[in-house]
Every structure is written in structure tokens, then in C-alpha cells.
Amino acid sequence: MSDLFLGLDCSTQSLTSLIIDFGSGRVLYRERINYDEDLPQYNTRNGVIILDNEKIIHSYPLMWIEALELLFEKMKTTKIPIHNVKAVSGSGQQHGTVYLNNKFESNLKKLNRHKSLFSQLKNSFSRPTSPVWMDSSTTNQCEEIREKLGGLVSTIELLGSNTFERFSGPQIRKFFQEEPELYKQTSTIHLVSSFLASILLGINAPIDHGDGAGMNLMNIKTKQWDIRALEATAPNLRDKLPSLTKPYNIIGTLSSYFVRKFGFSPDTRLIAWSGDNPNSLIGVGLIEKGKVAISLGTSDTYLGYLQDLHLDFKGEGHVFGAPTGDYMSLICYKNGSLARERIKNNFNLNWEEFSEILNNTPPGNNGKLMLPYFFPEIVPQVLEPHVYRFGFNENDIEGNVRGIIEAQFLSMKLHSKWIGEKPTEIYATGGASANKDILQVMANIFNTKVRMFELTNSAALGAAFRSAKSYYDLTNKIKSWDEIINKFIDFQKSVIIEPNEKYIGLYDDMLKLYKNYEDFILKNGEDPELARLEFIKKYF
């Protein structure tokens, strides 16, 4: 009987399960619960709810629990030999916090398999909703924490990132300030990843160094909770946080609820869960310097493996722990898939039509340039949403379609310079990486070849890889990361999109123009309209 490994991914819009078969090197099973469609009673849009104004964005931890149970029910009805699953790990959208009262752990310990998780856990929360990574309502708290830590540079040196609105620490501080009584009633604060890991484990699970680094609470060098950051955030916070652990640690076995209800073996190991970006890093096979990945999910992220700690003192990028125990770099954009969808839907297009327009519009967009902040943006920081269009208007279909795609990759190229060397290859992943025409623009702007993968859900795949690695390390059948990755990803067969050298000069000039426009709208520079007209004269 072949060894099976399960990877789960609780992302912004859906919960995915994926089972790999180590014997055959194949993905045996994949299933997805879409929150909006499969759990309509929560009334989410794209998996979230917008409270009060567009800066406060939350989701429901109970919805994730229901999705988890639904997913396991579906798995049970398939012919997959569930009892051969040797280990399970998972991935969670990063930064989101779950606030639990003192009943949570006792509820977990006495779960009865004849009842649903929902009915047995619904009284476990001190806060019914969870702020998620899209929330940008904590600017004051970010400033307060940064100041207490001695300013920008010392904050980055200590935590690996500047303070960010979506990071857990500022979110916790806001909760403490606005709802002190509920904060007091909170026994445990989990991340999305450690929350779901706890449910599978049957007791509180630790937070791994990959996801822990996205909290503004973990010392990036010692990988321990940082006492100064805890004190700058909220009182008695240390008592409310789980412990930290290495991403590859085995944290226990699957709880008897899942074993008995769904047919898993009682020996099924549970590996620490991590954030979706660290999981994706391993899920596309990034374990060396030189190559980078771009994930086009709900968020767009630019991620790379780092052998040594390398920080961005400008304060736009982040350093997190990588699944290998090393570090990774990350830049995150809120105006990712949902911004592309805005343009697609505004013109009533499907993705094929969107691609056709993209292909029929020239690189450089006839000098039309967009700065697409449909939602508050992280990089550069733009808290008030506004879509800037230069040389066209909102009714120009070609201008808008090419405008948004070029803007997204020009911005990534501009803001990833701190990472250093030019990548030799880009691995594309996430929902929109299925779109070859979008990836062609990526290849041209970066002047780098782009690799497309058969599977776009690298976070769930990464979680399955991580469970295989830890399980084989435990059982002395040690396998290298290379061995695991190459067994499942056929790099020979994946599609490579080559950059078109014809556009190197055009995109170099356009990048300068884009930067000038960014400076202009951020009030750091003059209106570059004349330079744009020169650009049009030169290329069109």
C-alpha cells in the first residue's frame, strides 16, 4: 500500500484538500469548498464581509469550521483509502486572527463524532469574526507599535517587517483598545493556520515560524515571541498566544474525532500548519536562490527563497520563515485577482475575451497607464482606494484590460528591487496563473522566462509535500526536498513562456514612467505627462 499525504489550504475564497500518492508520484484527489457558493448562509463575498467601511474586512471562523467538516465528509464518500494517509499538514491565509474563549480547548477535548464540529464549537469564540489580511483599518495601531519599538529601522530589524495594517499585532491591539472586555475574555489568539491545526489536533496547536513572522510579534532572528513587541501591542498577550514551532515539526496525531468519524488511521501525524505563502514556496519547488515565484491568487504575491536574513529597510517587503527552516522574502498586493475581476466584470467579459483583448493591444498600451487601487493598497501604501488612468478613461476597454495587467507587473518589478539579483526564472502560481496571456505580459515586463504549472494550488500541494517530508524524516526514510518536489512536479513537461526581447527597451522606459507616476500620485514628484508624451512618440 502506497503512502498518502494530505494537504489542506484555507484561503480567502475557499478551502481545498489535496491528497498525494507517494508511490505513483501523482495527485490522487482534489476537492474545494467555495465559501460564497457552498456556505451561502454566511453571506460572504469572495470569502469575506466588509464591515462599516471598506477598510474593515473580516471573515467567520465558524464558516471555516463548517467548510472543514464538509470537505472531510466529501473525502469520506470517495474511494480514496483514507486510512493510508500517513500525515496531514495545512496552509492558511496569513495574518488573520481568531479569538477564542476558555471553552475552546475543553470543547475540542470532548468532541463527539455523532455531532457536528459546528454545533460543538460554536460557543468557543470571544469574537465571532476574524479580521483577515484584506483589513487595513489599523494605521493608528501600526504607528503606535512602531514608535514604541524605536521607529522604522529598529522595527524591521526586530520583526523582519515594518508594522502593517493587516498584520496580527496591530489587529490585536485594535481589538484590545476598542473592545477591552472581550479582549479580557479571550484565552487564546490563533492564526487561521494554527486555529485549524488545533481543530485537527484536539488541543491548542502551535504557530510555525513561517506564519508567526507575519504577526509583528515574533523576533525574526531568535524566532521567539519578542517581549518588546508583545508589550507594545496589548497587555497579557504572551498568555494568550500559543507557542512557536519549526514549520517541519510534528505536533501530534490526528484527533480521535477525525479518526473515528472519517476513517483515518490513529497514527496519522499532524505537521505544523503554515501560511499560504510559505506553503506555496515549497509547493512550486522553490528551495534555492535565483528563481522567484509570483502567486496570482486573491492577493498577488512575489516570493523568493532566502538563504540568509536579508531585510527591506524601505519597509515595503517582508521576511518570513520558509518551510525548510531558512527565510523567504515576500511582497504582497491587495489589488490582485479581485482588481482584475473588476475590469473583466465592468466590461462583461469572460477570461477568454479578456485574454483576446490583452493580446490585441500593443505592449506599452499606446502610452496609456493605470495605477489600479480599486482597494486600499499595501505596496505602495495607498489607504484611500482610487483608480488613476493617464491617457484614457474608464470606458476604454483595451486601455483598461492591458492597463491593469501592465500596472500590476510594473509595480512588482519596481518594488522587488530590494531583494537584489534579477531572477533567472519566475514560477507562476495561484488561480490567475492558468491564464497564459497574463503570464506573457509578466515574462515581457520582467524580461524573464515564466514557468506555468499544471496545478495552480501550490499552497495545498506545498502542505502535502511538507507532510511527506516530516513523516519520512520521522520514520528514518529520509527524503530530500528535491526528491519530493521532483516526484510530483515534472519540470521537463511544464510550459515555459519566453520573454519577447523586442520589448526590453520599451518596458525599461515604461518602468521609469510608472515610477514617476507613482511618485506623482504619492505627492513625491512632478506630473510626468511630458515624459509620457515622449514615450508615445518614441514607441507608437
Residues that bind ligand ADP (CB under 6 A): 11-14, 297-298, 337, 340-341, 351, 430-432, 434-435, 438
The binder of ligand XUL chosen from 111, 282, 332, 404 (CB under 6 A): 332
93 is a site residue for ligand XUL (CB under 6 A): yes
With contacts defined by CB under 6 A, name the span among 27-35, 295-303, 379-387, 506-514 that binds ligand XUL: 295-303
| Phi, psi (deg, nearest 5) at residue 143 | -65, -40
Closest approach of ligand XUL to the CB of residue 332, in Å? 4
Give the residue with the Cβ less far from ligand ADP, 49 or 521.
49
For ligand ADP, the nearest residue by Cβ is: 431
List CB contacts of 479: < 8 A, sequence separation 6 or more: 468, 469, 472
Please choose, from the candidates 446, 411, 400, the residue with its C-alpha nearest in 3D space to the C-alpha of residue 427: 446
Calpha distance 126→73 (Å, rounded): 28
Closest approach of ligand XUL to the CB of residue 96, in Å? 8
Cα distance between the two ends of the chain: 63
Question: 274: helix, coil or strand?
Answer: strand
For residues 48 and 57, the answer to whether their CB atoms sit within 8 Å is: yes
Closest approach of ligand XUL to the CB of residue 276, in Å? 5
**Which amino acid appears at position 498 of this protein?**
E
Residues 186-215 that bind ligand XUL (CB under 6 A): 214
| Phi, psi (deg, nearest 5) at residue 62 | -70, -30
For residues 442 and 423, the answer to whether their CB atoms sit within 8 Å is: no
Q: Find residue 320's DSSP bridge partners.
A: 328
Give the residue with the Cβ less far from ligand ADP, 275 or 528.
275
**Residue 13 binds which one of ligand XUL, ligand ADP, none, with CB within 5 to 8 A depending on kind?**
ligand ADP
**Which amino acid appears at position 207 of this protein?**
I
Closest approach of ligand ADP to the CB of residue 155, in Å? 27
With contacts defined by CB under 6 A, name the span among 93-101, 146-154, 339-347, 436-444 that binds ligand XUL: 93-101
**Residue 118 binds which one of ligand XUL, ligand ADP, none, with CB within 5 to 8 A depending on kind?**
none
**Residue 403 binds which one of ligand ADP, ligand XUL, none, with CB within 5 to 8 A depending on kind?**
none
**Residue 61 binds which one of ligand XUL, ligand ADP, none, with CB within 5 to 8 A depending on kind?**
none
Give the residue with the Cβ less far from ligand ADP, 300 or 316.
300
DSSP 272: P
For residues 99 and 175, the answer to whether their CB atoms sit within 8 Å is: yes
Question: 96: helix, coil or strand?
Answer: coil
List CB contacts of 502: < 8 A, sequence separation 6 or more: none
Please choose, from the candidates 251, 262, 165, the residue with its C-alpha nearest in 3D space to the C-alpha of residue 201: 251
Calpha distance 158→195 (Å, rounded): 25
Closest approach of ligand ADP to the CB of residue 75, in Å? 19
**Which amino acid appears at position 277 of this protein?**
N
Closest approach of ligand XUL to the CB of residue 119, in Å? 29
94 is a site residue for ligand XUL (CB under 6 A): yes
Size of the site for ligand XUL (CB under 6 A): 16
Question: 145: helix, coil or strand?
Answer: helix
**Residue 435 binds which one of ligand XUL, ligand ADP, none, with CB within 5 to 8 A depending on kind?**
ligand ADP
With contacts defined by CB under 6 A, name the span among 88-96, 219-227, 305-313, 385-393 that binds ligand XUL: 88-96
**Residue 14 binds which one of ligand ADP, ligand XUL, none, with CB within 5 to 8 A depending on kind?**
ligand ADP
DSSP 164: -
The binder of ligand XUL chosen from 297, 304, 367, 462 (CB under 6 A): 297
Closest approach of ligand XUL to the CB of residue 277, in Å? 5
The binder of ligand XUL chosen from 133, 195, 392, 514 (CB under 6 A): 133
For residues 291 and 427, the answer to whether their CB atoms sit within 8 Å is: yes
**Residue 469 binds which one of ligand XUL, ligand ADP, none, with CB within 5 to 8 A depending on kind?**
none
> Which residue stretches of 205-249 are H helix?
209-212, 227-233, 237-240
Residue 57 C-alpha cell reads as 474586512
Q: Which helix (H) or strand (E) holds 396?
A: none
| Phi, psi (deg, nearest 5) at residue 258 | -75, -35
Calpha distance 86→5 (Å, rounded): 6
Closest approach of ligand XUL to the CB of residue 297, in Å? 6
Give the residue with the Cβ less far from ligand ADP, 12 or 155.
12
299 is a site residue for ligand XUL (CB under 6 A): yes
User: Hey, how many other C-beta atoms are within 10 angstroms of the C-beta on 77?
Assistant: 7
Residues 261-290 that bind ligand XUL (CB under 6 A): 275-277
User: Hey, how many other C-beta atoms are within 10 angstroms of the C-beta on 394?
Assistant: 13
Give the residue with the Cβ less far from ligand ADP, 54 or 341.
341
Give the residue with the Cβ less far from ligand XUL, 48 or 234.
48
46 is a site residue for ligand XUL (CB under 6 A): no
DSSP 204: P
Point out which residues bind ligand XUL (CB under 6 A).
Answer: 12, 93-95, 133, 166, 214, 275-277, 297-299, 301, 330, 332
